[in-house]
Structure 1
Amino acid sequence: MTAPKAIPATHTLPDRVDVIIVGGGLAGCAAALAAAEAGASVLQLEKLAATGGSTVLSAGLSAFAGTAEQEAQGIDDSVDLLRRDILETGLQLSDPALVEVYCREQLPTYQWLKGHGVSYGTVHAASGQTVPRSHPTDTRRMLDLLLASSAALGVQLATGVTVERLEREDPDNGRVTGVRVSVGGETVRIRAGAVVLATGGFSQNPELLARFAPQMERAVRGGGAGSTGDGLLMAWQLGAGVIDTPHIKGTYGVYPHAVDAEKGTGVLAVYKGAIAVNADGTRFVDESLPYKVLGDASLRQAGGFTYQVFDAAIMGRSDDEVPIYDLAARERDGLLVKADTLAELAQRLDVPVAEFQATVERYNAACRGDRADDFGRSHLSGGVGVPQPIEQAPFFAHASTAVVLATYCGLTVTPGLEVLDVFGEPIGGLFAAGELIGGFHGGGYMTGTSIGKAGIFGRLAGTAAARLAPAAARA
């Protein structure tokens, strides 16, 4: 695999190409490659010095149904079940047309990615999934594979180039005709038959977060350094619609204090059997719920953080292939509190000992079937796994809060990934994909649909933009 060489900032950028891709995460890389495969000349622009975006900071899980990996593990999944899970996790607020595109194109995209060398490990169950369908992969390697394939097809990649504005035929109306960029202190205009925005969300933009998600004030801010809402603002200037902003949520499981060992994605011991307790030493939620819901519940507790509590048996389920399940790494990094007894653990956490012990015993009794669970928990995650008592020493606790890793809202788009204005009309020549778009997740989030969506919709947006470009050039 030969990694593509980015155009240096001092290099003269082309005056015109068929398709411009803005962004260097999975959505952008998939769009660039798909557009090139469709025969277009492509320029991919990334404002940071390197590609990756939030993609390379994620757990690397893609939600696919009906794969070879699932078949090898004896997992019975289907498109119908995938569709149902996405809609139910989204509280029936997702755009059914976008969900249908995801479901229809997920296997072809999975096969397309594997055709470019992407490989997947052991499939896991996670938030919102009634059967295991989280396919892990090395995201940095995945992007490098796509970038290498793009380079072989002539895609030009320019890093360190900031796109400042979208250009259009008429200041008040008309189709998008290119971009205005800043490179080396100079402003350059580049024309194109179509533009694909894949600039990510705005988890690193305090002003936009305060405007759209004041409920996340106590959450940790994560996501890629470039996730500042550039694409959202540029499209917004052209009248683009925006959707799903009320549903911005944080992801549960991140360490609440600033330490070098925190990698940003956190750990979900609750999905391996842990319980979550607050500063009073008591549970406050059904831990099998989607981790976005758990994040909201944790932020509402005193101090805005809680503890994931588990035992040696759950520690034995640690999985170093998936960062959010790598409990052993958390112990090595010094992020776990460890004790030989529950009483000692409570003392070390500074929570009431009696209440904490009673909480664990009530949970254990429910696991044994002696009583009903206080919060109705019947599975480990979604509809998968059976809760087991927390009783094998040593015992562990992981301080946890919510982190805004991604915003999962954004531009309104058609099923063909054309950006729509506030009146529901397409903005000619403008497409979008990845975290930047709204409408798909609705009121919740199923694990794996962010990376999955980036690959699926990025591929489709690139192909659609390439088809439009020749017609735009003749217009």
Structure 2
Amino acid sequence: MSKTTCDVIVIGAGIAGISTATAAREQGLDVVLLEKMPTIGGSTVMSGGWFAFTGTDEQQEEGVEDSIDLFREDLLNVGAHQNDPDLVDAYLEHQLETYRWLKNKGVNFGEVSISSGQSAARGHSTKIREVVALLHADFSERGGKTRLNARVTALLQDFSGRVDGVIINGDENLYARRGVVIASGGFSRSTELLKIFAPEQLAALPYGGAGNTGDGLKMGWKLGAGMADMSAVSGTYGSHPETTDEQQELLTAYYMGAIIVNKDGQRFIDESLDYKTLGAAVITQKDAIAFQIFDAGVRAQSHRGIALKDMDTLEDFGHLPSGNSLEELAELIEVPAEQLLKTVEEYNASIDAGEGDALGRTHLCNGVGELKGIVEKPFYAYPAKTLMTTTYAGLTFTPRGEVTDVDGEVIDGLFAVGEVTGGFHGAAYMTGSSLGKGAVFGHLVAQTLNHKEKDTHG
């Protein structure tokens, strides 16, 4: 009986899966890309579109001072040194090559900016839907096959235990000569898995691709795959309570000079920390909400259409209340005026005196940027919650993209890329390192598969 066989099966059509499939097809491999949803893109097309790279043309044009060593230091520091240094080094070794590969595919990188976990501007903005479309068009034009509404329900193994195929929609077998790549995303939409691994995050706003229910994680788990970073799962702080799948709102005015206060008008954390750490802290506050408080000087830094900075659009939505005094603002957001005024006065006074901030804040973002007082009217407030966008934890894997079991042994024939993996980020996350990870390790896995000896018994 004949078997339907290809070289490589890729599960999931977000940035990780499409990068893997495109790079593998580019190298002449017969690739089938499986996506369980009716459209490609997953959580990727719901993201802000930032990639973390260094040594780029855009950085050079902006006069940004950065280096591989600083990049490495930032990744390890934001990950609390809980990340696997071999994975970090693999990313750093191949990130510039991947950046150039993306540019050669027609990807345009716009603004270069500093953000969460970065001590130099290495966030490269993109129109992420265009990135996905460009890569997928390249894949298709080279003869790559994409199947939508194709949910993988199980992994197949041969007599030796090697993963050599998948079951699609419960009743169709597809086999792979070189390997199966799980790029199915995280589990931000799985109440079941959040209850197991991060129950406190159930208080966050659910977000991410509708297909992010942890299918790939469970399939790897069933085969004995190890897991990493599960205890670090956290949402991102900065989304309005009315944010929607169609119109994501995420503002990081705190990296531009805002402070964060709870419903009692009090600060409770150093606002320069990465937004995953901030997200975990906000969940513990009353009603799991906090307000970004800032003045006209910060408001003037808005950049329409750029994720994390677009205050103009937020104001258009009616989500950015303002007042000519802090007392007026406090009334609008139903925060005690006396306490808000006291909080801002104490914050401004510590800056003016050059004294230590009560919560340890010394800069705007990760040790960079001079603090400025909240003094210029009008004053603004952005009510925001923690958004459970992505889970950044999962299957353990090698720098070559091979999935490993609980003892650290490679599971033959099984690879993983992107948000379904764990070990790269550690305790927290740097802006741009998720899309960057998907593209970099996707490119790396394609190279691994290209050099992998064909299975001859399939």
Q: Flag whether TM exceeds 0.5 (same fold).
A: yes
Report the 3-state secondary structure (helix = DSSP H, G, I; strand = E; otherwise coil) of the residue aligned with 1:462: helix
Q: Conserved in 2, the CA contact under 8 Å of 1:136 and 1:321?
A: no
User: Which one-letter code corresponds to 1:119 in the other structure?
Assistant: N
Equivalent residue for 2:189, pick from 204, 209, 233: 204
| Offset of residue 259 of structure 1 | 5.4
User: Which one-letter code corresponds to 2:456 in the other structure?
Assistant: A
Report the 3-state secondary structure (helix = DSSP H, G, I; strand = E; otherwise coil) of the residue aligned with 1:323: coil
Can you list the C-alpha shifts for 1:276-334, whole angstroms capped at 9, x where unaligned?
00111111111111001111111111221110011111110001242211111111111
Report the 3-state secondary structure (helix = DSSP H, G, I; strand = E; otherwise coil) of the residue aligned with 1:472: coil
Report the 3-state secondary structure (helix = DSSP H, G, I; strand = E; otherwise coil) of the residue aligned with 1:207: helix
State the partner residue of 2:454: 471
Superposition map of 1:45-124 within 5 A: 45-124=34-113
State the partner residue of 2:393: 409
Report the 3-state secondary structure (helix = DSSP H, G, I; strand = E; otherwise coil) of the residue aligned with 2:348: helix
Q: In structure 2, how many angstroms separate the alpha carbons of the residues matched to 1:84 and 1:259?
A: 34
Report the 3-state secondary structure (helix = DSSP H, G, I; strand = E; otherwise coil) of the residue aligned with 2:45: helix
Q: In structure 2, how many angstroms separate the alpha carbons of the residues matched to 1:38 and 1:143?
A: 19
Can you list the C-alpha shifts for 1:111-159, whole angstroms capped at 9, x where unaligned?
0100100110120000111111000001111011111111121100111
State the partner residue of 2:8: 19
Q: Conserved in 2, the CA contact under 8 Å of 1:431 and 1:465?
A: no
Q: Which moved more, 1:154-163 or 1:186-195?
A: 186-195
User: Which one-letter code corresponds to 2:75 in the other structure?
Assistant: I
| Gap runs ≥5 in structure 1 | 1-13
Can you list the C-alpha shifts for 1:30-62, whole angstroms capped at 9, x where unaligned?
000111122111100101111001111111111
| Offset of residue 430 of structure 1 | 0.8
State the partner residue of 2:410: 426
State the partner residue of 1:394: 378
Superposition map of 1:34-433 within 5 A: 34-170=23-159, 174-182=161-169, 187-193=171-177, 194-256=179-241, 258=242, 263-369=247-353, 371-433=355-417
Report the 3-state secondary structure (helix = DSSP H, G, I; strand = E; otherwise coil) of the residue aligned with 1:397: strand
Q: Conserved in 1, the CA contact under 8 Å of 2:191 and 2:202?
A: no
| Offset of residue 370 of structure 1 | 5.0
TM score, norm. by length of structure 2: 0.97
User: Which one-letter code corresponds to 2:165 in the other structure?
Assistant: G
Q: In structure 2, how many angstroms separate the alpha carbons of the residues matched to 1:279 and 1:434?
A: 36
Q: Conserved in 1, the CA contact under 8 Å of 2:243 and 2:249?
A: no
| Offset of residue 462 of structure 1 | 2.2
Can you list the C-alpha shifts for 1:80-124, whole angstroms capped at 9, x where unaligned?
110110001000000010000001000000001001001101200
Q: In structure 2, how many angstroms separate the alpha carbons of the residues matched to 1:456 and 1:267?
A: 27
| Offset of residue 368 of structure 1 | 2.4
Q: Conserved in 1, the CA contact under 8 Å of 2:356 and 2:362?
A: no
Report the 3-state secondary structure (helix = DSSP H, G, I; strand = E; otherwise coil) of the residue aligned with 1:343: helix
Q: Conserved in 1, the CA contact under 8 Å of 2:189 and 2:211?
A: yes
Q: In structure 2, how many angstroms separate the alpha carbons of the residues matched to 1:417 and 1:241?
A: 14
Q: What percentage of aligned pairs have identical amino acids?
A: 44
Over aligned residue pairs, what C-alpha RMSD do you find? 1.5
Query: Taking structure 1 as reference, are residues 67 and 259 closer, same or farther at Cα in structure 2, changes over 3 Å only?
Result: closer
Q: In structure 2, how many angstroms separate the alpha carbons of the residues matched to 1:358 and 1:149?
A: 57
Q: Which moved more, 1:23-32 or 1:455-464?
A: 455-464
| Gap runs ≥5 in structure 2 | none
Can you list the C-alpha shifts for 1:396-423, whole angstroms capped at 9, x where unaligned?
1111111111111000111111011112
| Offset of residue 384 of structure 1 | 2.2
Q: Which moved more, 1:457-466 or 1:340-349?
A: 457-466
Q: In structure 2, how many angstroms separate the alpha carbons of the residues matched to 1:217 and 1:188?
A: 35
Query: Taking structure 1 as reference, are residues 210 and 410 closer, same or farther at Cα in structure 2, changes over 3 Å only?
Result: same
User: Which one-letter code corresponds to 1:453 in the other structure?
Assistant: K
Query: Taking structure 1 as reference, are residues 243 and 88 closer, same or farther at Cα in structure 2, changes over 3 Å only?
Result: same
Q: In structure 2, how many angstroms separate the alpha carbons of the residues matched to 1:327 and 1:440?
A: 32
Q: Conserved in 2, the CA contact under 8 Å of 1:280 and 1:352?
A: yes
Q: In structure 2, how many angstroms separate the alpha carbons of the residues matched to 1:417 and 1:291?
A: 27
Q: In structure 1, how many angstroms separate the alpha carbons of the residues matched to 2:431 and 2:404?
A: 27
User: Which one-letter code corresponds to 2:369 in the other structure?
Assistant: G
| Offset of residue 369 of structure 1 | 3.2
State the partner residue of 1:6: none
Q: In structure 2, how many angstroms separate the alpha carbons of the residues matched to 1:409 and 1:260?
A: 24
Report the 3-state secondary structure (helix = DSSP H, G, I; strand = E; otherwise coil) of the residue aligned with 2:106: coil
Q: Conserved in 1, the CA contact under 8 Å of 2:116 and 2:430?
A: yes
Q: In structure 1, how many angstroms separate the alpha carbons of the residues matched to 2:333 and 2:184?
A: 41
Q: Conserved in 1, the CA contact under 8 Å of 2:46 and 2:245?
A: no
Can you list the C-alpha shifts for 1:212-263, whole angstroms capped at 9, x where unaligned?
001212111111111000111111111111111100011000113x455983
Q: Conserved in 2, the CA contact under 8 Å of 1:99 and 1:440?
A: yes
User: Which one-letter code corresponds to 2:298 in the other structure?
Assistant: I
